[in-house]
């Protein structure tokens, strides 16, 4: 057994012991669905198929705690490649064979990168790199990074629209490969296409600087940069397809430009920085065409523009910092004879070697900004220490007061996008669209709260039913035995009476009571129908029903005959509180309005049972049942159960 496998199994056993109280509760909740585990087939180590375990009943959290049993069995590891489906794997590929050489993991290095939208290399490349360097120490640090990432960025899957917006700035939401391909394609066209990046600092600047904001709005495309944008998307409950910061995109752009034969011009930075960057990148990509470089400290702007145009470059990278680079591109856009111009911030500082980049483990938890502060505290502390919280507060206020989303984007004639609502100036149509969107969101929120309320009520009501019914059956066992003996002594026939009743959704079930009538009661009912004393005619009731035995009158008066229905409650056919289940012949006479009673699980007691029982006319029974169905709470159920006690002892309306 490998060292890492022994560690995983030992840790899993320890967690099973520590979490045993939680696991027992989760197992009990799973058994509410009459099955402890559900499973799904996956490929494990050496291609061996195994069943991945989940606790049943997905309505409750903790379904994946069952994975610990897979780890103890040796199917899984805590850290490893992602689960592979049992079908569709090409095991002849060397990459697949390497992935199948280790156990799949609950936590994957690729999933961690995906959380920060940093999985630019692709899932397989990330996991193969991890396999080459795996160790117990590496696994523990990855578990810690995953925990931090899930605390900061959550674990829920969110929709990923093609466009996202912050403060009216529309950002393209795309992957790294698509972005690089789009840049190369746009650089073939003239006049100059403008592409810009935004991070929280940029958006904070645009919030107050109208000139810079307008330069961003005039850009043909804006890409997201940094983990702060990812966190802002999470606050808006949307997902970022790719963290397209220029530092990660630049080498991929150089590689793609080398293959396509397109050229770059580097403008910006201190003297010598752009030239050092060009030298380093050409050493890495020998066939890369860099048509020229120039530092960012110049007086004769026209001379620099002539130099750029004369180079015949396809892509111009401008590194002057925010907002200077965006304003320079905007002001000189018509003069530039390049295919595409883009601002890249401090990119050249990294690739010239002047400033080192944060290690990957720090970037995986979105803390690259800490590294930047440590390297340049005088310049960076205000941007991150003050700027990041300010950005989050503004995003929260926007999401709370004026939620923008992709459904509010409109396509412009030139193929770009704009917001249908853009503060502060709005047309009447735009304002109506915003109001409509807000109404839709408000209605969705109300429906979501209603569904959660129904779910909460149903779950806890079921738990209350099971525990109370089980306890009552144990306590009333002597009463059951005594009643059964008396029934048997008075008249021949079975102790229990079983009858088909109609439950929720018009589904029939076997309904149990102590027998309170003679065995030929159903045959005699036809003869007595004309003497029915129940108003409405749907339900048959007689105060002095000749079919009822002497013992039956007593147990019916005090509802003792209903006690076997506790078994129906345990089975889930009935609840302690709810509308009484009718017989099929009664349901056949129901009107459409009467059928509202069948929208809920029937109960042993209910609102009309504690209000007069059989003395309540049928139409009023229906209304009281419907009132209960649409307004019941857990507290209301408890009150009805307590009201049942005096109602039973009084025996009013029981016959």
Q: How many CB atoms lie within 10 A of CB 5?
A: 15
Q: What is the pLDDT of residue 262?
A: 92
pLDDT < 50 stretches in the chain: 86-87, 403-426, 655
Token pair belonging to 532: 């029915």
- 182/305 Cα distance (integer angstroms): 24
Supply 626's token pair.
Answer: 């419907």
Predicted confidence at residue 212, as pLDDT, reads: 92
- Helix, strand and coil content of the chain, in percent to the nearest 5, comes to 55, 15, 30
Q: How far apart are CA 296 and CA 321, in angstroms?
A: 10
> Are the C-beta atoms of residues 179 and 326 closer than 8 Å to each other?
no
Rounded CA separation 169/136 (Å): 45
> How far is the C-alpha of 522 from the C-alpha of 511, rounded, in Å?
15
The pair of three-digit structure tokens given for residue 160, joined into one six-digit string: 């990923």
**Residue 412's pLDDT is what?**
47
CA 161 and chain centroid, separation: 15
Distances, alpha carbon 282 to alpha carbons 250, 260, 278, in Å: 13, 15, 6
Encode pLDDT of 526-553 as tens digits: 666 666 655 555 555 666 777 888 888 8
Torsion sign, CA atoms 259, 94, 98, 73: positive
d(CA 365, CA 371): 12
Which pair of tokens denotes residue 539?
């339900």
Q: How many helices (H) and strands (E) does the chain have?
A: 28, 19
User: 385-439: per-residue pLDDT in tens?
Assistant: 888 889 988 888 877 665 444 444 444 444 444 444 344 444 555 555 555 555 6
pLDDT at position 539 is: 58
Report the candidate in 175, 307, 308, 180 with the shortest Cα–Cα distance to residue 242: 175
Local structure of 489: helix, strand or coil: helix
Question: What whole-number distance in Å separates Cα of residue 301 and Cα of residue 325?
Answer: 13
DSSP letters for 286-324 = TT-EEEEEE-S--S-HHHHHHHHHHHT-SEEEEES-TTH
Q: What is the DSSP string of 362-413?
A: HHTTT-HHHHHHHHSHHHHHIIIIIHHHHHHHHHHHHHHHS---GGGEEE-T
The confidence score (pLDDT) of residue 92 equals: 65
Q: In Å, what is the CA distance from 333 to each residue of 195, 222, 325?
A: 11, 16, 12
Beta bridge partners of 77: 105
What is the pLDDT, as a whole number, of residue 434? 55
Residue 354 has φ and ψ, to the nearest 5°, of -70, -35
């Amino acid at each position: 057994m490998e060292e890492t496998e022994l560690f995983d199994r030992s840790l899993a056993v320890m967690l099973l012991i520590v979490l045993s109280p939680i696991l027992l509760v989760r197992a009990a909740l799973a058994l509410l669905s009459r099955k402890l585990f559900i499973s799904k087939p996956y490929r494990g180590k050496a291609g061996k198929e195994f069943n991945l375990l989940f606790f049943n009943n997905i309505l409750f959290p903790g379904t994946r705690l069952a994975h610990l049993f897979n780890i103890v069995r040796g199917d899984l590891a805590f850290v490893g490649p992602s689960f592979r489906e049992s079908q569709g794997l090409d095991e002849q590929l060397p990459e697949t064979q390497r992935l199948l050489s280790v156990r799949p993991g609950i936590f994957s290095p690729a999933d961690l990168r995906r959380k920060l939208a940093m999985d630019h290399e692709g899932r397989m490349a990330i996991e193969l790199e991890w396999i080459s360097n795996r160790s117990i120490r590496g696994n523990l640090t990855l578990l810690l990074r995953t925990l931090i990432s899930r605390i900061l960025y959550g674990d829920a899957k969110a929709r990923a629209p093609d466009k996202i917006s912050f403060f009216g700035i529309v950002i393209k939401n795309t992957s790294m490969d698509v972005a690089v391909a789009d840049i190369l394609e746009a650089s073939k066209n003239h006049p100059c296409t403008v592409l810009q990046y935004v991070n929280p600092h940029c958006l904070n600047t645009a919030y107050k600087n109208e000139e810079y904001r307008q330069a961003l709005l005039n850009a043909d495309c804006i890409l997201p940069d940094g983990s702060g944008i990812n966190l802002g998307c999470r606050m808006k409950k949307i997902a970022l397809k790719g963290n397209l910061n220029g530092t990660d995109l630049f080498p991929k752009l150089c590689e793609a430009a080398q293959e396509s034969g397109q050229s770059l011009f580097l403008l910006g930075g201190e003297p010598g920085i752009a030239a050092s960057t060009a030298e380093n990148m050409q050493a890495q990509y020998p066939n890369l065409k860099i048509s020229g470089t120039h530092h960012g400290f110049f007086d004769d702007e026209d001379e620099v523009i002539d130099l750029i145009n004369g180079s015949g470059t396809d892509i111009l990278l401008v590194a002057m910092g925010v907002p200077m680079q965006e304003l320079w591109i905007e002001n000189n856009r018509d003069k530039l004879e390049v295919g595409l111009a883009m601002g890249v911030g401090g990119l050249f500082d990294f690739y010239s070697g002047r400033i080192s980049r944060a290690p990957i483990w720090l970037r995986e938890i979105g803390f690259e900004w800490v590294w930047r502060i440590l390297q340049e505290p005088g310049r960076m502390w205000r941007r991150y220490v003050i700027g990041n919280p300010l950005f989050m507060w503004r995003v929260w206020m926007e999401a709370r007061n004026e939620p923008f989303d992709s459904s509010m984007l409109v396509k412009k004639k030139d193929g770009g996008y704009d917001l249908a609502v853009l503060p502060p100036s709005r047309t009447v149509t735009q304002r109506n669209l915003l109001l409509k969107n807000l109404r839709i969101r408000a209605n969705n929120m109300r429906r979501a709260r209603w569904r959660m309320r129904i779910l909460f009520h149903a779950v806890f009501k079921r738990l209350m039913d099971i525990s109370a019914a089980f306890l009552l059956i144990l306590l009333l066992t002597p009463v059951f035995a005594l009643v059964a003996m008396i029934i048997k002594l008075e008249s021949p026939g079975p102790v229990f009476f079983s009858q088909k009743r109609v439950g929720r959704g018009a589904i029939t079930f076997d309904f149990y009571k102590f027998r309170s009538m003679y065995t030929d009661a159903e045959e005699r009912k036809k003869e007595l129908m004309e003497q029915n004393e129940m108003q409405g005619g749907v339900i048959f009731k007689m105060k002095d029903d000749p079919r009822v035995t002497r013992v039956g009158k007593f147990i019916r008066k005090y509802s003792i005959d209903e006690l076997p229905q506790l078994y129906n409650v345990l089975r889930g056919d009935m609840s302690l509180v709810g509308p009484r289940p009718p017989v099929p012949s009664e349901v056949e006479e129901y009107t459409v309005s009467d059928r509202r009673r069948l929208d809920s699980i029937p109960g042993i007691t209910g609102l009309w049972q504690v209000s007069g029982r059989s003395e309540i006319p049928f139409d009023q029974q229906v209304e009281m049942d419907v009132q209960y169905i649409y307004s019941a709470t857990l507290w209301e159920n408890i009150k009805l159960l307590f009201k049942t006690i005096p109602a039973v002892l009084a025996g009013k309306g029981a016959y």
